[in-house]
Amino acid sequence: MKSRLKVFVTLLLSSFIASQSHSADDSKQLSVTEETFRCLSELAATGRFFVGNILGNLDDTLAVANSENGGSFPPGSLVTLVPVEAMIKHEEGWNPATNDWEFFLLDVSEEGSRIAARGGAEVVNQAGSCFGCHQLARPEWDLVCGENHGCAPLPFSLEQIRDVQKSDPRCMRKD
């Protein structure tokens, strides 16, 4: 009985690990925790969305985000449009299928962020797979949809997006 339980737990754990690691090369994975995701106003505003760089290379991230003809975001880039969703670029080779972007779905509150889902093409919100929509951006835009990079538009006006950005509950944190 005991050993069958052990086999069961081992199988459960290995399928969990397999679903976590998908095709990613873990040596290229940057460390991302719930603390990585903070109030949007702590990030740099660029056009419609906000950016940061968890490796400290904000200048190169901003240069691509503000470029008129796109480019490849450097490792460490964090991009976010609304508090509950973000993309982070790992080191080159982490997951070539997603240009090394990892997608995050967050639960946010005055206490901070909780990671509800993270990974590659398997991460979904109510409208579908993050990657499914973002891969429609033309190649020079590195999976960033923006207003007119080739993705189908979201059913929200810029004004509605701005309202959601302004009401990020994480900005009420005391620390």
User: Interface with ligand HEC by CB under 6 A: which residues?
Assistant: 48-49, 79-81, 85-87, 103-105, 123, 125, 127-128, 130, 133-134, 144-147, 151, 153-154
Maximum pairwise Cα distance, the chain: 64
Choose between 27 and 108: whose C-beta lies nearer to ligand HEC: 108
Look up residue 114 and give its amino acid. Answer: R
Q: Supply the minimum distance, in Å, between the C-beta of residue 21 and ligand HEC.
A: 19
Cβ–Cβ contacts within 10 Å for residue 100, how many? 26
Torsion of CA 157, 63, 134, 169, to 10 degrees: -50
Least separation in angstroms between CB 155 and ligand HEC: 9
| Residue whose CB is less far from ligand HEC, 40 or 79 | 79
Q: Whole-number minimum distance, CB 68 to ligand HEC, in Å?
A: 15
Residue 3 or residue 146: which is nearer to ligand HEC going by CB? Answer: 146
Nearest approach, Cβ of 70 to ligand HEC (angstroms)?
12
Residue 10 or 41 having the CB closest to ligand HEC: 41
Rounded Cα distance, 135 and 144, in Å: 8
Residue 137's contacts (CB-CB under 8 Å, 6 or more residues apart) are 143, 144, 145, 146, 149, 150, 151
Q: Extract the tokens encoding 152.
A: 């189908």
